[in-house]
Structure 1
């Protein structure tokens, strides 16, 4: 165990030394950590076993997504969203359902073994996007602010919106044997508990933080941990009560951001750093546990669906959704392309497997393949296409 910890700690330290320079290249942090995980795993050097780390990856992915859901919801500037709602609003209200519908049809066409609800589950798992894999775009000051804000808001909110949709389709699929009414009752219970727990804990926690902060009771060191602790408390409490921890984290983040107001960014800054670290460790374990078996088991249908999911299924609905906004085709294609798949999709796979959905392994393999392709394609194109859209928006050829 200590040998593995030494290797992991040394690798993280070495990466941190060159992290800034790597951000300017076509090689992203997740790409490096997945590759390192594969090389350190049982398929190559064998420094990490391939049988036990999958449990750790589930825990890391769970906590990381809960933290990101809370942070993204807290950072959602409702004032800015009201002023510049057109791009994210259309992508969420039109593009997202369109992507689920198109992904559903593609799944039915390519996977004859999937039921109607299973095809819908697969499409929903891959409709959620991960802004971390396109970080070079949303943090690039050369990219017009309306596009950065649009992608940031869309990626921050769409995974939270996909959670109840995913639970609905799982309930309908599992309800074929236990009764749909029973499945839908469980869905309403999970969502209701998640909303009550998330909103309740954040109202109490946010209020206490404001009062204690005004009285000078919170040290500068510990104030950085308040957001992390509250986010995980929302998630874990809801899960322990058989509710949706993801809904709790998302709802809690919205309430917390409202209460914190202008102090939100300062309060969530440390949580963002912790979330980034957890995400990279998850990617390393993804390389250890998933990449080797994926290479051996991927079929032509899996590969084709993954490519369609990243291109036609994602791009077409959003290009159509943005018609009439005044945005040129280049901008609409740019916004449609940058829908990376990442941690949310991985966690959704875990939810599906734990629910015992019959063809869960086929769907898990497809999601893993899509995430791997996204990791490479979106990571490699983030900086070049960011520079390209900046020139196009400025009127340069």
Structure 2
């Protein structure tokens, strides 16, 4: 919290010298990791930390769901559906298949959890890519929508993987039944809570019973209440929050919800809450990076992380786009432009908390390699390559 307070004092000045909030928080986390390393390691592996991370994930998933602009699939239905319905499960399958022999973990559940950690998109470390007019507008919109929904779609798979890690049953049927049971309750609670609250707000605003300030407060409460209700009945709390975000938008906008967006003034409170929770996660990532460096060099984890950042996603995207009108250049960009960020950190911490012994260190190691590598690849290398390409072709378009 102190690090966030310090950032608020110099946020504008830091921005002027191109030091983003995630970079500042990572730096503070590194300092904390160097000073309080053993204490941080102990705190990360507690039930309280697990619940706190789940609650943060619930907020992030809710915001991702309600923030998608331009309608449910932002006008890029064909491309987005291929990315979400085909490329997403393919990427998990490929990451899982690569991880089984490469990581050498005795538990397939741990490998599946790691696959869920390394694949979700998050443009927090590379926000300029979504505003860069050197990239096709449709491509940018498709990536924005994918990043808004993909973490919520990864969540049930991660929940199943975590259940296998915590189950004494060696057969997958037991954890699978538990995951389905939790998912069903998440649907009931999430869709019900989101739709009813959204509809109530739409009618109340229309009848002038309430206004924007009150709706802002409610939107910050919806993911927290939804998470608590779902956990209380045995459901998956963060999946419920994601579904609540989708159904809230539909209930709030009514028939206009397909092609209209929620007003920014209604989203501001929950967006601010999302920013704070994201900054906390970047701080934790910095501290975790110190712990990883103390483990020494692990070639298998580094190789797996690099493959996940590049080859795994690109193969999944290429296969998903077979027969589509998307140009090959854009298919390559869709495969390359997949930054990892807050979602991978949160998923990684949940997997770390659920994994035992040496497997936990590998989870933390891979998460650090993927997120750190993404900052370098998507935050520095690819923007530099785009600038060089634009200069070579005489293009003068700049990020908007």
TM-score norm. by structure 2 comes to 0.84
The answer for the alignment partner of 1:43 in structure 2 is: 34
2:204 aligned with 1:212: yes
What are the ranges of 5 or more consecutive residues in structure 2 without an aligned counterpart? 254-259
Instruction: Pick closer, same or farther for the CA change 1:115–1:247 going to 2, 3 Å.
Output: same
1:383 and 1:151 mapped to 2: Cα distance? 16
Secondary structure of 1:113's partner? coil
2:377 and 2:231 mapped to 1: Cα distance? 34
2:316 and 2:24 mapped to 1: Cα distance? 31
The answer for the alignment partner of 2:160 in structure 1 is: 168
Residue 164 of structure 1: how far off its partner (Å) = 1.6
1:195 and 1:386 mapped to 2: Cα distance? 42
The answer for the alignment partner of 1:247 in structure 2 is: 239
Instruction: Pick closer, same or farther for the CA change 1:323–1:365 going to 2, 3 Å.
Output: same
The answer for the alignment partner of 2:320 in structure 1 is: 321
* Conservation of the 8 A alpha-carbon contact between 1:65 and 1:343: no
Alignment counterpart, residue 183 of structure 1, candidates 162, 175, 178: 175
2:275 aligned with 1:276: yes
The answer for the alignment partner of 1:365 in structure 2 is: 365
Pairing of 1:252-263 with structure 2 (within 5 A): 252-261=244-253, 262=260
The answer for the alignment partner of 2:289 in structure 1 is: 291
TM-score norm. by structure 1 comes to 0.84
Mean Cα deviation higher: 217-226 or 29-38:
217-226
The answer for the alignment partner of 1:115 in structure 2 is: 107
Instruction: Pick closer, same or farther for the CA change 1:250–1:394 going to 2, 3 Å.
Output: farther
2:10 aligned with 1:18: no
Mean Cα deviation higher: 337-346 or 297-306:
337-346
The answer for the alignment partner of 1:222 in structure 2 is: 214
Residue 47 of structure 1: how far off its partner (Å) = 11
The answer for the alignment partner of 2:193 in structure 1 is: 201
1:76 and 1:303 mapped to 2: Cα distance? 33
The answer for the alignment partner of 1:376 in structure 2 is: 376
The answer for the alignment partner of 1:332 in structure 2 is: 331
1:178 and 1:391 mapped to 2: Cα distance? 57
The answer for the alignment partner of 1:88 in structure 2 is: 80
Secondary structure of 1:43's partner? helix
The answer for the alignment partner of 1:192 in structure 2 is: 184
What are the ranges of 5 or more consecutive residues in structure 1 without an aligned counterpart? none
Residue 100 of structure 1: how far off its partner (Å) = 1.5
The answer for the alignment partner of 2:257 in structure 1 is: none
Mean Cα deviation higher: 101-110 or 376-385:
376-385
C-alpha deviations, 1:140-192, integer Å up to 9, x for none?
A: 45533211110011111111111122233444565562654432221111101
C-alpha deviations, 1:204-241, integer Å up to 9, x for none?
A: 21122122222333344333222111122112221233
Residue 31 of structure 1: how far off its partner (Å) = 2.5
The answer for the alignment partner of 2:256 in structure 1 is: none
2:141 and 2:98 mapped to 1: Cα distance? 30
Instruction: Pick closer, same or farther for the CA change 1:140–1:48 going to 2, 3 Å.
Output: farther
C-alpha deviations, 1:318-341, integer Å up to 9, x for none?
A: 133234433333322222112122
Moved over 6 A (4+): 388-397
Residue 111 of structure 1: how far off its partner (Å) = 1.9
* Conservation of the 8 A alpha-carbon contact between 2:112 and 2:161: yes
Mean Cα deviation higher: 351-360 or 48-57:
48-57
Aligned residues: 386
2:2 and 2:159 mapped to 1: Cα distance? 40
Instruction: Pick closer, same or farther for the CA change 1:69–1:19 going to 2, 3 Å.
Output: farther
* Conservation of the 8 A alpha-carbon contact between 1:88 and 1:154: yes
1:274 and 1:294 mapped to 2: Cα distance? 29
The answer for the alignment partner of 2:343 in structure 1 is: 344
Residue 283 of structure 1: how far off its partner (Å) = 0.6
C-alpha deviations, 1:47-96, integer Å up to 9, x for none?
A: 99635663686566433321221122223458562742122221222222
2:303 aligned with 1:308: no
2:63 aligned with 1:65: no
2:13 and 2:165 mapped to 1: Cα distance? 47
